[in-house]
Amino acid sequence: MPTLRPSDCRNRLLAAVTAEDFSRLAPHLERVPLAFRQVLIEADRPIPHAFFPEEGLVSLIADTGEGRVEVGLTGFEGLVGVPLLLGTDRTPHVALVQAEGTALRIEAAALGDALAASASLRSVLGRYVQSLIVQVGQTVYANTDHTIETRLARWILMTQDRLRRDDLPLTHDFMATMLGVRRPGVTTALHILEGARLIQARRGCITVLDRTRLAECAGDSYGPAEAEYERLLGRA
Amino acid sequence: MPTLRPSDCRNRLLAAVTAEDFSRLAPHLERVPLAFRQVLIEADRPIPHAFFPEEGLVSLIADTGEGRVEVGLTGFEGLVGVPLLLGTDRTPHVALVQAEGTALRIEAAALGDALAASASLRSVLGRYVQSLIVQVGQTVYANTDHTIETRLARWILMTQDRLRRDDLPLTHDFMATMLGVRRPGVTTALHILEGARLIQARRGCITVLDRTRLAECAGDSYGPAEAEYERLLGRA
DNA sequence: CGGACTTTGTCCGAAACCGTACAGGGGCCA
DNA sequence: TGGCCCCTGTACGGTTTCGGACAAAGTCCG
């Protein structure tokens, strides 16, 4: 297999890494498909690989036996397998593919070696962890203080950011699970957003019509986490 | 100032660090008081110090202008200033002292030097970050799926873990802000817990009477984060 | 002791959301 | 074409929580 070049991969973290760090990682990167509903990380089991997604969407889910709630979302801007950066090989959170795509994966040991060898790599990936913490914090805020309609607007925006399309393959039932609400609650909230011409809903598909006003609808639940990411990893 | 010895400090992370790492940090550690309502970290401003609390309680708050919600809690088991571990000098989250105490603080630059020099130190502090992420994830779960009563039980337990006493200096208004609910909602929920003899409430003070049943009341919102901490940093 | 302030207890109508159930519609496959 | 399954729309009563207001009780300090 020819060694990957930076221009060959479409993950923003890998693009932000120095040339030297990239060359350290590249021999170990393997492009793999992400299948819908594939579990990339199981709860409390050794994490064999970290994934740098290029296309698709991955949810981080707190699954405490009874309820399941999404706590974070990762796409081509991030990395799945954060515990590997933090000195452990497992986590109670689950990583689940929500929209198919591809990722560059690397074995845990190879990632660990690269991290041990490079402070600049630790810095880039550490900054991503910081932006993820802020994202989870915003999820706390949204789920605590906001209506389903608002939270749905935030979630659609975050999904669109990561899928880079206007048509999002999402069912009501699926969104309800992610937001931790009833399915009919999602149906009603979508009707409101649709009535305001912010989105258009078809069976299994949401189309974003007016991103700007959708962001207004999401209020301050959307924005801080995205700003933090751009501050830490933007234009790199 | 005589250099600190490990036995002189009562922070669990400092206790978990190797002797060599400790000797790297010790010359830079300075014991400071934590005053009630003191702001240790301001939103989006350079973080001058990291703090290893020994006594007292510090909240991590997502403060997006409008609403404020607590996303995490740190005491003698942790570290305030996580962004400094992750390659940045600021964060949109606020760190606010909720119960007075003391902490060992270290300048950002000195901490950065120690981290750059020691993989084992990075591992210990990184594992704390992992446990913090799980804690914030549990906060998402609790605030999404549970009643005020349940969330209050979780919050009292977490506070007691960190203050190591049965009498907790807490007003209803204060707890309401932390949980992101109305103050009368807290009053009502406390009455329920008090009626079940799990706690006793006096003006400005909550006394835990039955920790075991309080944990049952908190359900699965309490536990996973604490288990993750013990797995990663316990008996060290 | 008396006054000011903080904290706690209680109440009201209104809104959001829940759990559950069921009917209609779209798409897929035999 | 017919049958089946998944997705969507809608309904209903019940619970939780909200937003706001006000009164009672405790604490502090002059």
**Which tens digit of pLDDT belongs to each residue from B4-62?**
877 778 999 999 999 999 999 999 999 999 999 999 999 999 999 999 999 999 999 99
Tokens 């699926």 -> residue: A174
CA angle centred on A186, ends A183 and A190, rounded to 5°: 150
- Any atom of strand D under 7 A from CB of B180? yes
Which residues does residue B53 pair with via DSSP β-bridges, in sequence order? B103
Task: Please identify, among A141, A168, A203, the residue that sits at the C-terminal boundary of a domain.
Answer: A141
| pLDDT score recorded for residue B67 | 78
Does residue B70 surpass a pLDDT of 90? yes
Tell me, yes or no, whether A113 and A160 share the same domain: no
Q: Is residue B194 part of a domain?
A: yes
- Any atom of strand D under 7 A from CB of A171? yes
Does residue A216 surpass a pLDDT of 80? yes
Give the structural domain span for A131: 6-141
Report the gap between the CA of B127 and the closest CA in chain A (Å): 5
Please report which residue ranges of B101-166 form alpha helices under DSSP H: 108-117, 119-145, 148-163
Report CB contact under 8 Å: B137, A66. Answer: no
Neighbours of A3 (CB within 10 A): 10
Chain A's closest residue to B223, CA to CA, is A64
Residue nearest to nucleotide C18 (CA to C1'): A182
Tell me, yes or no, whether A111 and A132 share the same domain: yes
Would an 8 Å CB–CB cutoff place A147 in contact with chain B?
no
The shortest CB-CB distance from B224 to any of A87, A92, A145 is to: A92
Determine the average pLDDT of the residues in A196-211: 94
Does residue B194 surpass a pLDDT of 70? yes
Report CB contact under 8 Å: B137, A71. Answer: yes
* Mean pLDDT, chain B, integer: 94
| pLDDT score recorded for residue B1 | 55
Task: Please identify, among A120, A141, A162, the residue that sits at the C-terminal boundary of a domain.
Answer: A141
Q: Is residue B1 part of a domain?
A: no
Determine the average pLDDT of the residues in A192-218: 95
The integer distance in angstroms from the CA atom of A99 to the C1' atom of C30 is 29
Nucleotide closest in space to B186 (CA vs C1'): C8
Per-residue pLDDT tens digits for B137-162? 999 999 999 999 999 999 999 999 99
Does residue B236 surpass a pLDDT of 60? no
Determine the average pLDDT of the residues in A155-182: 95
Tell me, yes or no, whether B180 and B85 share the same domain: no
Determine the average pLDDT of the residues in A215-233: 96
Tell me, yes or no, whether A202 and A182 share the same domain: yes
Token pair of B71 as six digits: 């996303």
Report CB contact under 8 Å: B143, A138. Answer: no
Determine the average pLDDT of the residues in B110-125: 97
| pLDDT score recorded for residue A104 | 97
| pLDDT score recorded for residue A2 | 61
Per-residue pLDDT tens digits for A67-99? 789 999 999 999 999 999 999 999 999 999 999
Footprint of strand C on the protein (CB under 7 A): A 146-149, 180-185, 189, 203; B 171-173, 183-184, 187-188, 190-191, 201, 203-205
- Longest Cα separation, chain A: 54
Per-residue pLDDT tens digits for A123-161? 999 999 999 999 999 999 999 989 999 999 999 999 999
Tell me, yes or no, whether B227 and B152 share the same domain: yes
A50 contacts A43 by C-beta, under 8 angstroms = no
Tokens 């962890």 -> residue: A129
Tell me, yes or no, whether A188 and A93 share the same domain: no
- Any atom of strand D under 7 A from CB of B148? yes
Per-residue pLDDT tens digits for A20-62? 999 999 999 999 999 999 999 999 999 999 999 999 999 999 9
Tell me, yes or no, whether A60 and A72 share the same domain: yes
Tell me, yes or no, whether B82 and B184 share the same domain: no
Per-residue pLDDT tens digits for A104-113? 999 999 999 9
A149 contacts A192 by C-beta, under 8 angstroms = yes
Tell me, yes or no, whether A165 and A110 share the same domain: no
Closest to B177 measured CA to CA, from B100, B101, B98: B98
Q: Is residue A1 part of a domain?
A: no
| pLDDT score recorded for residue B65 | 73
Tell me, yes or no, whether B135 and B189 share the same domain: no
Does residue B189 surpass a pLDDT of 80? yes
Tell me, yes or no, whether B102 and B200 share the same domain: no
Neighbours of B48 (CB within 10 A): 14
